[in-house]
């Protein structure tokens, strides 16, 4: 069994995609340093959480039993291991106990990445918007603070005192490492450096150009996406299809590159954000956890709440964003059409006259038998 397992539990929208992508791409280098990042694909770690939380998984589904397979891989390894998915932060106490028990006799270290709430709430609203949520940003904030938002894109995935309270009942506080996400304007590699120092890695041989931070939409781009949502139909109603084409293509590949203006919660939520931020810092500071970074990072506030807001974007601004998006999509369609036609022409060129003649003769024989 692995001697030690780092369990990275999120939080969502705290640099997890960047860290996971970079680590996955450098798995051979990790193994040479004695750390196993198990699984056949990164999605196995999400599926592992699904099994732990008891989600319905068909026995015929190739991903069913993903947690059991990760544990089996770690049992066949004698170094350290890493399991990473941000949804583990939503584990109940019973589920957290199960995870730690399944990993025995390995020492389990919980790693939690955390970012200031001023930056988190715009990010998690956008993720909800890219999938099934249709409400505005202010509505989302009100629902989150009222406890009406469930799942990954609600308060339950951001409640640092509650999350740390759950995991500290099954893992000693000194083995829970809280990595703070640096505020905007910090060196781009600061989060990565805090991460590798926590895991005790030497990244000198790593390829660090394989990933980039999961960038956010600007206010006008998010407003346009919200206007598009009611018109999604047919296959786009299916979760995985929507994830691929609405979230990844339209959101990340078309709208994000427009580099719209960053937005923040409005003044209506300033006092509540300050209160919850202070509670989070107090819970971390008094809990005996290993802090990697600076707790002041979690108290970062918006430089101004008088800037753009997605609920108050004008129609003219959205038309400009939509025009740029359509131009991008036309170029993308042109490139795909050229590629399709090139492959079609190559396929047709392989159909020599002799082979076509053989096909015709076979067809005549078949018709003759009829």
User: Are 298 and 180 contacting, i.e. CB atoms less than 8 angstroms apart?
Assistant: yes
Least confident of 265-269, 291-295, 358-362: 358-362
Per residue in 275-334, pLDDT (tens digit) is 999 999 999 999 999 999 999 999 999 877 778 999 999 999 999 999 999 999 999 999
Give the closest residue to 85 by CA, choosing from 40, 43, 57.
Answer: 43
Q: Which two tokens stand for residue 155?
A: 């308060």
- Three-state DSSP class for 221? helix
Give the DSSP H or E segment for 112: strand 107-114
User: Are 174 and 290 contacting, i.e. CB atoms less than 8 angstroms apart?
Assistant: yes
Distances (CA, A) of 246 to 14, 132, 234: 22, 11, 13
Domain ranges of the chain: 4-117+154-212+267-301
Query: Residue 154 half-sphere exposure, CB side, CA atoms within 13 Å?
Result: 14
Higher pLDDT, 78 or 61: 78
For the chain, the straight-line distance linking the first and the last C-alpha, in angstroms and rounded, comes to 66
Global pTM reads 0.89
Give the pLDDT of residue 356: 54
Per residue in 175-214, pLDDT (tens digit) is 999 999 999 999 989 999 999 999 999 999 999 888 665 6
Give the pLDDT of residue 19: 96
What is the CATH class of 4-117+154-212+267-301? alpha beta
User: Are 25 and 42 contacting, i.e. CB atoms less than 8 angstroms apart?
Assistant: no
Percent of the chain with pLDDT over 70: 92
Do you know the residue count of the chain? 370
């Amino acid at each position: 069994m692995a001697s030690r397992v780092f369990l990275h539990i999120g939080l969502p929208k705290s640099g997890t995609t960047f860290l996971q992508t970079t680590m996955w791409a450098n798995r051979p280098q990790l193994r040479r340093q004695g750390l196993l990042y198990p699984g056949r694909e990164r999605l196995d770690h999400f599926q592992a959480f699904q099994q732990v939380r008891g989600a319905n998984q068909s026995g015929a589904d190739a991903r069913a039993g993903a947690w059991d397979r990760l544990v089996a891989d770690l049992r066949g390894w004698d170094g350290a291991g890493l399991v990473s998915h941000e949804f583990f932060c939503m584990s109940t106490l019973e589920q957290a106990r199960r995870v730690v028990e399944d990993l025995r006799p390995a020492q389990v270290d919980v790693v939690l990445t955390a970012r200031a709430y001023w930056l988190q709430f715009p990010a998690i609203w956008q993720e909800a918007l890219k999938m099934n949520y249709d409400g505005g940003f202010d509505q989302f904030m009100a629902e989150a603070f009222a406890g009406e938002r469930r799942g990954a894109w609600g308060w339950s995935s951001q409640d640092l005192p509650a999350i740390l309270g759950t995991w500290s009942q099954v893992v000693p506080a000194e083995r829970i490492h809280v990595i703070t996400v640096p505020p905007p304007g910090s060196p781009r590699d600061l989060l990565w450096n805090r991460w590798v120092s926590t895991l005790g890695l030497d990244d000198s041989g790593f390829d660090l150009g394989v990933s980039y931070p999961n960038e956010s939409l600007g206010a006008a781009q998010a407003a346009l996406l919200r206007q598009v949502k009611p018109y999604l139909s047919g296959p786009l109603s299916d979760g995985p299809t929507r994830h691929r084409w609405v979230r990844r293509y339209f959101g990340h590949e078309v709208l994000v590159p427009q580099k719209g203006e960053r937005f923040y919660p409005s003044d209506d939520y300033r006092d509540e954000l300050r209160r919850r931020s202070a509670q989070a810092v107090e819970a971390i500071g008094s809990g005996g956890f290993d802090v990697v970074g600076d707790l002041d990072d979690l108290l970062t506030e918006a430089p101004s709440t008088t800037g753009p807001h997605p609920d108050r974007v004008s129609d003219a601004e959205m038309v400009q964003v939509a025009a740029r998006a359509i131009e991008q999509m036309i170029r993308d369609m042109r490139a795909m059409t050229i590629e399709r036609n090139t492959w079609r022409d190559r396929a047709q060129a392989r159909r020599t006259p002799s082979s076509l003649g053989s096909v015709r003769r076979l067809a005549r024989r078949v018709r003759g038998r009829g």
